[in-house]
Each structure stands twice: as structure tokens, then as C-alpha cells.
Structure 1
Amino acid sequence: MKHTDQDLLLDALNGNINAFQSLFAEFQPQLKSYLYRLLANRNDAEDITHDTFIKAYDNLKTFKGEASLKTWVFQIATSITYNYLKRRKRWVPNVSEQAKNLVLSNADLAGRIVKVAQTSEYGKYEIKEHIDTCFTCISKNLPIENQIALILKDIYDFSVNDICMILEKSEGTVKYLLKNARGLMTDIFDNRCALVNKNGACNQCSELNGWFNPKQNQQEALLKLDLVKKSKKYNREELFKLRTTLVKAIDPLKSDGFELQEILLKCNQMAMGEIQRE
């Protein structure tokens, strides 16, 4: 007989870890993706996913059903991640340039990036995937609570009420965090992204496309993106919404180019001093 989620929850509350595993598995991929966007590191995301499972199961009897089990588990994962991130510096808007300079000065690191791009099944370079990675990097410029609220709402479609529970904040505070986060992200993109603003300082999407796809017509690659097509007639807020639409459609852990994007994120971590330079 097929068990419903309610049956599985009752079994889990009675100590059946396999029942809890079945429930957890329903949202585990999204949880891990969410943590990866916050942490910008696959190993950290996997470790905290594991820690979340253990802590949630150990504390399952405190689950009161005031929100969904998924929201309750995301609250636990967010708390663990918040405590981890608050020991780290916020990233800076020009982190990609710092990482680029690091790669240009390190032939071994540059060689590793090229090897991934040339040999990995998941080393393909797509501008849309790099925009997704860029979104992660820019979001790490935000205060942690703003970053969490923004990603939960605009990328994973959690309601404001759910975010209130996850962050243990009032509705007014969560709405302020969201407004502030969107404003900061929009300002950074508007000032930096050369895809949509000819005065933008960052050309990394185009530079990397030229590096990894030298035979691909640059303009053709860019014009495939709604973000570029509509950049001349949309305002800043509408362009930000287009970015979130693009990002929501990508699983950063399973995309065609996830391994290439992962090593590029590691370069950013090196530039920020989060991991040792190689």
C-alpha cells in the first residue's frame, strides 16, 4: 500500500528514519541548490545538507506543523548556514576582476580551468549559466539576511510568511529586507554589467565566451538572451526580474556547465580569501 506524506510523517515521528528520509528526499535537491547559492561551494552545501538532515531528524518531535515540513527544514538549514556565513567577509562587487587577475597570474590555475572546459562532460560554457553564477556572486555582496530573503523569495518562490518563519522575523522586516536586497542587487548590476549597460565595468561573460567558444559568433550568443534583447527598452527593475527568471530556470548543481562554473566560483573564493590560493 502506498504511504501518503502524512503517513510517512507519523512514522518518522515514531522514530522511523527511513520514513523521514523519504520526506526529506522530496525537497533535498532544492535545498542543496539553495545552500549552494548561499555558500558558493558544493562541498559546503553538501555538508550542511547532511548536517540539516541529522539535526532535523533529531529534533523532529518539536515540529508543530505550523508550516510545511519543507519550510521547517529550510529554517534549520538556514540557521546553520547563517552561523557559518557570519564568520566570513561579504564579497565585493569587483570579485570577478580580482579572480581574473589571480587566474592570469597563475598558469597552473588557468590550465585547470581550460582542462575542465575541454575535457569535462559538464564543462560547457554558456553565457546564461555564467549569468546565473554572476547572480550568486553579486548576492554575496548583500548582508546575510538580505541574501537569504532574496534567494528564498525570488529564486525558490517561498512566501513572505514562510520567510518570516525561516528567518524568525516580522512580515514588515522581511519585506524591508527584500526591497533593500533587490535595490542593492539592481544598483550593482546596473553599474557593472556590460551586457545591459555600455558603461558597465564587467565584460566577463563576453570574455569567457571568447575564451571557451572562440568559433561562436559573440553577438549571436548574446542575442539569444532576453536580458540582452530587452536591455534597451526595459528599466532596471524589469531587467532584474529577467535575471531572476533566468536564474530560476537553472539548477547550478546539474547544468551543462556546472563543473566549469564551479571552478570559476572557487577562483572567486580564493580572491576573497575563503580558500587557500593555489
Structure 2
Amino acid sequence: MIKQEIFQSEFVNFSSELTSFLYRLVANKQDAEDLTQDTYIKALSNLDSFQPEKASLKTWVFTIAINTGKNYLAKMKRWGENDLTICQEYHSNSPERMEEIGKVFNSTPDARFEMKEHLNYCFTCITKTLELTQQICLLLKDVYGFKQEEIIEITGLSEGKVKHGIADARKNLKRIFDNRCALINKNGICNQCTALNGIFNPKQDAHIKAKELKLSSTNDQDKLLDLRMKLVKETDPLQGSSELHTFFLENIPTWVEKATS
């Protein structure tokens, strides 16, 4: 059995990555931190069941984390593809609600609206619309760099289901981004990033910034998705330059319910 002090030392090495994964999975910062703590306690209490010849400690802990996250998400609805548009309209029609957003943004000293961070936030929102298995498999492989055999071990899925989960997730993401994102499609219905950029960082041209990030350098949907995921990998969702996106993620389900009731 692995010694407790070795487990604690190794857990610290990947704990921020684990919390980041859980944050993208559940879209709530405090809940992600609580789930990380729950995962730690469960793993610590079951060290005698860890089999190092079968999986790495990190893989084993992620298995526990995903099962814990699934239990948390079981009582919640998946997000709808139009939820961001619903929320945008819900706020744009209310000066009071827009003022509240401004207060949240300005509550952080030296707050900045960073296009890269918004694209990361957008990615989290859109992956929340995927089937849970698709979301998990995609995040594990394309954002957190797990190998296919590790994903099979973590999820308990067959090789075929893992492959299909990743392929279906990519197919759905390409379709959603192509239909919605005004940065890459002039007919896209979502321009939230450019609208917020105009409010909070008017000196930064959103479309020029998109070109700098290479999002408008190709029409190849696979390359565009890979570019997005590269940006996501490079962006720590737990370390934003303002609390704006945390505020959005925590409130989207409530806003959608209010706007559609």
C-alpha cells in the first residue's frame, strides 16, 4: 500500500490540474474546490485499494474525482446550446443587470477583459452542452493530455466508447462553434465576446485579437477547434484577470430559468 505521506506529496503535484478539470466539468469554482477536497478524502480513505501496477496515482485519483463529479451532476440538467444567447439578451434588455455585471468586473483590482480568457470561458460553456461522457472524454484527452488507455481506465468505458465519445464531442463542438461564433463566422449568432470587449476593453479590437490568436486564419473546422483547445490548455480557468467569467458560469442556469419562465 502506498504510504500516506507519499500520496499527499504526489496529490499536491496535480491538485491544481484536478481542480481545473472539475471546474470545467461542473462550471462552479467553489463546487470544484469542494469536489477536489471530497476526492482527496475518498482517495486517502481508500489507499489500500490503489493498485500501482494497474494505473498511476494520478489516473486513479481522477477516476475517483470523475465518479464524485458525476454524482454531483446527476441532479442537474445539461446546458442548452442557446443558453449563452438567452443570457446575453436577458442582460442587454436590462440596464440594472448590465450595471451588476459592471460592478462584478470592477470588483477586481486592475481587472482586464482578456479575449483569451473569454474564449476559455466560452469553451467551458459549450462543452457543458455535450453529453457528459463526451465532455469527460474530450477534456481528458484534448485538454489534459491523458492517453487513450488512461481514459479507458479512468472512465471504465470500452475503447470503442472512448473513441466515439471523443469523435462525437469534436463533431458537435465544430458544428456549434461554426453556427454560433461571430468571430469565425460573420453569420454567427453569438457576439458576446465582442460586445463585452467593447464595454470593458474598447481599446482592444476583438477581431484583430482573434486574428492574433489565429482564430480567423483558417476555415478548416478541425484546425479551428484544435486552435481553441490549444488556447484552453494555455489558460488556467482558476486564475482569471477578473471575476467576470466566474460570475457568469455560476449564474447561467439561474438566468436561463428566469429568462424562460
CA contact (8 A) 1:122 1:255 kept: no
Whole-angstrom CA distance in 2 between matches of 1:180 and 1:225 = 25
Whole-angstrom CA distance in 2 between matches of 1:24 and 1:147 = 24
Q: Partner residue of 1:203?
A: 191
Q: Partner residue of 1:3?
A: none
In structure 2, which of residues 175, 194, 208 is the aligned counterpart of residue 187 of structure 1?
A: 175
What secondary structure does 2:240 align onto? coil
CA contact (8 A) 1:34 1:151 kept: yes
Distance 1:47 1:218, change over 3 A: closer
Are 1:32 and 2:19 counterparts?
Answer: yes
Whole-angstrom CA distance in 2 between matches of 1:162 and 1:218 = 38
CA contact (8 A) 2:2 2:47 kept: no
Distance 1:105 1:21, change over 3 A: farther
Whole-angstrom CA distance in 1 between matches of 2:207 and 2:223 = 22
Q: Partner residue of 1:251?
A: 236
Are 1:133 and 2:118 counterparts?
Answer: no
Distance 1:54 1:170, change over 3 A: same
For structure 2, the residue ranges without an aligned partner over 5 or more in a row are none
CA contact (8 A) 1:102 1:267 kept: no
What secondary structure does 2:3 align onto? helix
Q: Which stretch has the larger CA shift, 218-227 or 156-165?
A: 218-227
Q: Partner residue of 1:264?
A: 248
What do residues 211-247 of structure 1 show as CA deviations (whole Å, max 9, x unaligned)? 111233344333322112x13xx31111111111111
TM-score (norm 2): 0.92
Whole-angstrom CA distance in 2 between matches of 1:60 and 1:94 = 43
Whole-angstrom CA distance in 2 between matches of 1:78 and 1:142 = 16
Residue identity (%): 44
Distance 1:160 1:195, change over 3 A: same
What secondary structure does 1:226 align onto? coil
Report how many aligned residue pairs link the two structures.
258
Whole-angstrom CA distance in 2 between matches of 1:50 and 1:153 = 23
What do residues 101-149 of structure 1 show as CA deviations (whole Å, max 9, x unaligned)? 3323555543332123234137321111111111001001111111000
Amino acid in structure 1 at the alignment position of 2:126: I
Whole-angstrom CA distance in 2 between matches of 1:101 and 1:81 = 31
Q: Which stretch has the larger CA shift, 113-122 or 60-69?
A: 113-122
CA contact (8 A) 1:99 1:270 kept: no
For structure 1, the residue ranges without an aligned partner over 5 or more in a row are 1-8, 13-17
RMSD: 2.0
Whole-angstrom CA distance in 2 between matches of 1:103 and 1:82 = 31
Whole-angstrom CA distance in 1 between matches of 2:9 and 2:95 = 46
What secondary structure does 2:241 align onto? coil
